[in-house]
């Protein structure tokens, strides 16, 4: 029988992991939903966010300044990548964007190694405070990460449902041709979405940096789990990405408490089960071509 305090700690740990997965996977989901591309280079921006957080926190002593800088630099890098590479391949088949973005990810890892080396780097936790929940002390920073992810989801929902640009993006996710027919600059929507996705990936890397050792391969290490989150939730679904991130985070956390190998095996088993029942994922719709 699992101890109650251990269970509470495991749930909080799972929610914080799920929050990082959500912030990283939402970029993949947005890019697929609107542009119909698989943007694995989002994992590069995740690493960029983590390394900028490391560098700025070391120089200034402020982790939060590093997180902010990581988001900005990730957005700038993604703008260059979108203009130089993806602008030329939006009309190509899906596997082409998959291979191209993976190549960008691998090349980016090489650049990271050139500037920061291959030795893992520690980032200090912004606060060591503990908060008591039902008799269990849990790290306040993990609760902050969970809260930020919740605010990001609320912000994305409000943006997509309450702003003109957001409604245009939602319409583009449903049918790009109709949006083009209304005279909306779809290319600009693509760029805005791509930069926003990268900034969120950079935020995920910055927030996760104090919880792990920052290293050049960190994007590759979470790739399988982030991809699972997108597939389980349904390609292009924001709500599905959040729900599946929570599921995967809890499975990884609680699975490791029950039996360590479950942390790696169980998410794949759940993904296969869900796809057998609903091939498009929990909230996904049938794939539509642009």
Question: How many CA atoms lie within 13 Å of 271's alpha carbon, on the beta-carbon side?
Answer: 21
Is 141 a domain residue?
yes
Confidence of residue 110 (pLDDT cuts 50, 70, 90): very high
Is 73 a domain residue?
yes
- The secondary structure of residue 268, as a DSSP letter, is H
Is 131 a domain residue?
no
Provide the Cα torsion 240, 243, 245, 248; round to 10°.
-120
The residue range of the domain holding 206 is 4-115+136-277
What radius of gyration, in Å, describes the C-alpha atoms of the chain?
19
pLDDT, tens digit, 9 for 90 and up, residues 114-140: 999 999 999 999 998 999 888 888 999
Q: Is the pLDDT assigned to residue 155 strictly greater than 90?
A: yes
Q: What average pLDDT does range 150-162 have in this prediction?
A: 91
**Beta-carbon contacts of residue 251 (< 8 Å; ≥ 6 apart):** 14, 262, 263, 266, 267, 270
- Lowest-confidence segment of 158-172, 183-197, 228-242 by average pLDDT: 158-172
Kindly report the pTM of this predicted structure. Answer: 0.91
Confidence of residue 70 (pLDDT cuts 50, 70, 90): very high
pLDDT of residue 285: 60
Q: Is the pLDDT assigned to residue 286 strictly greater than 60?
A: no
Is 233 a domain residue?
yes
Domain of residue 66, CATH code: 1.10.3470
Alpha-helix runs per DSSP H in 36-139: 42-60, 63-84, 94-116
pLDDT of residue 48: 96
Domains in the chain: how many in total?
Answer: 1
Is 130 a domain residue?
no
pLDDT of residue 84: 93
């Amino acid at each position: 029988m699992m101890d109650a305090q251990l269970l509470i700690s495991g749930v909080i740990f799972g929610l914080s992991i799920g929050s990082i997965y959500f912030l990283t996977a939402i970029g993949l989901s947005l890019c697929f939903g609107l542009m119909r591309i698989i943007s694995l280079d989002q994992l590069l921006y995740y690493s960029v966010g983590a390394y900028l957080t490391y560098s700025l926190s070391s120089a200034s002593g402020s982790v939060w300044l590093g997180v902010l800088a990581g988001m900005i630099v990730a957005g700038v890098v993604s703008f260059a990548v979108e203009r130089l590479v993806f602008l030329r391949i939006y009309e190509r088949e899906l596997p082409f964007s998959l291979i191209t973005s993976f190549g960008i990810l691998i090349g980016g890892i090489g650049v990271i190694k050139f500037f920061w080396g291959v030795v893992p780097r520690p980032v200090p936790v912004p606060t060591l405070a503990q908060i008591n929940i039902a008799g269990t002390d849990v790290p306040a920073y993990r609760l902050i990460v969970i809260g930020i992810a919740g605010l990001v989801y609320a912000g994305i929902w409000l943006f997509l449902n309450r702003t003109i640009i957001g409604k245009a993006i939602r319409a583009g996710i449903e049918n790009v041709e109709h949006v083009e027919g209304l005279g909306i600059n779809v290319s600009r929507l693509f760029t805005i979405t791509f930069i926003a996705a990268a900034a969120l990936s950079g935020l995920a890397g910055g927030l996760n940096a104090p919880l792990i050792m920052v290293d050049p391969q960190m994007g590759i290490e979470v790739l399988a789990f982030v991809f699972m989150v997108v597939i389980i939730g349904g390609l292009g679904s924001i709500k599905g990405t959040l729900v599946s991130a929570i599921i995967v985070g809890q499975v990884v956390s609680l699975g490791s408490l029950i039996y360590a190998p479950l942390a790696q095996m169980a998410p794949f088993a759940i993904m296969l089960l869900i796809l057998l029942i609903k091939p498009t994922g929990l909230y996904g719709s049938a794939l539509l071509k642009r």
